Amino acid sequence: MAGKDQALHMRTLASLTRGLAAGEFSSRELTEALLARIESHQPALNAFITITAELALLQADRADKVRAAGNAGPLNGLPIVHKDLFCTQGVLTTCGSRILDNFVSPYDAAVVERVAAAGAVMLGKTNMDEFAMGSSNETSYFGPVANPWDKKLSPGGSSGGSAAAVAARLVPAATGTDTGGSIRQPAALTGTTGIKPTYGRVSRYGMVAFASSLDQAGVITRSAEDAAMLLGVMAGHDGRDSTSVDHPVPDYGAALGKSVKGLKVGVVRQHFDEGLDDECAARVKDALKTLEDAGAELVDVDLPNIGLSVPTYYVVAPAECSSNLSRFDGVRFGHRAEDPEDLLDLYCRSRGEGFGAEVKRRVMTGTYVLSAGYYDAYYLKAQKVRQLISQDFKNAFERVDVIAGPTAPTTAFAIGEKTDDPITMYLNDIYTIGANLAGLPGISIPCGFAAGLPVGLQLVGPHFAEATLLASAHQYQQMTDWHLEAPGDFE
């Protein structure tokens, strides 16, 4: 009886919600089916760091009882996975790093709390670039994640495990974090839907920090409709997080029906430069034409300082990571060097053994730009440029409702292709970083294929315009089927 019309793993959150409500299957049946699928495909994809099968079945049974009692929450019985930098009580939280490979969190992050309170079932914690530093999911201590579309390719990063798990139909939805594009870029490379909300829209409490003024939690799903369901539960003010904004959360689901007719879509000239792959550019232009045919108005806009976003980001983010990661010293928790000679030896060897190469690179860069004699030349100047970039967006949004363009400059690239060239790797986020520097919401949705691999369309909106982004994405997905495409080995 379980999902006779469609295999359970191919159904979206919205479809699974209807199936559970109609009694087509139970949460336990759904959970068992997906856990079996994860066990089967995990060796090839390496999308998970921890699989919480026992906990998931307990939560599923509880969800079935709650539903039978007529008290089902908005996510009751629905399976989800969390990126492994959200603290989860009693479960490993590693951040993809050796330095935390034995850390069991004593509490839940706000995102984990809210999703659980809505009735969701946690199937596990997903693999990620170490401390969210990376664009390919290759810096993880637990090994790289494979892209379900071609297992020789990267799924992007740092939320690559979450994106791969959703793309491979191992789970319908996942949480992620986005510091410079780490939800949107892997969503583009795996053919999934990923949204980074406005900075402060979702609580960062219990989310292990990389760069505190840039990090924001979000979601990776199969569709904008599913993203609206999950984000609606996660969003909202939290007094435990000093960066959380007390701003009303609209009903994202109710906003999905809004037409794109009359929507002013800004097309950034600077995003269609020589760095963009020709086929990717063609697919994005096709998507813009689809929106235009549906009644949207395309408007050329300029972001004159957007070309400075990558160098600005790679001063600000390492500076903040240098400060945030100073707590990992081998004293209170995490990896501790054996038989230290003295306190300095404990610090040096614990951090030297615990951190990977990319984390060390960024910590050293950040410490340098914050040091006496260099603060004004680098960090202060970067913050000034950040304000110029933010003002560019503000000026553009005086003329348009959203800004559209490519999410990534290319389709998925080979694992190992860019690991020896950090600058080339950093340029994967060239179109996404600006939204983080300005604290703006952004969404990536599938808009076609180039050489058989997914291409993403990015929409960026003004602060707290998540409802507009989700509605625009949903309307586009009603006109196209790109978001329904699944990798051939995982259908």
Q: Rounded to 5 degrees, what angle do the CA atoms 270, 271, 274 make?
A: 85
Residue type, 372: A
CA distance 404 to 271: 9
Give kind and range of the element (H or E) at residue 477. helix 466-479
- DSSP string for 440-453: --EEEEEEEEETTE
Catalytic residue ranges: 83, 158, 182
| Residue 479, token pair as written in the block | 């006109």
| Residue 89, token pair as written in the block | 């009580």
Distant-in-sequence, close-in-space partners of 460: CB < 8 Å, separation ≥ 6: 393, 402, 403, 404, 434, 435, 440, 441, 442, 469
E strand segments, 352-481: 402-406, 442-450, 453-460
| Residue 338, token pair as written in the block | 């054996």
Distant-in-sequence, close-in-space partners of 473: CB < 8 Å, separation ≥ 6: 193, 224, 227, 443, 445, 459
Residue from 406, 378, 245, 246 nearest 314 by CA: 378
| Residue 372, token pair as written in the block | 């006496």
> Across-strand partners of 442?
196, 460
Do 297 and 330 meet the contact criterion of CB atoms below 8 Å apart? no
Half-sphere exposure of 96 (CA within 13 A, CB side): 35
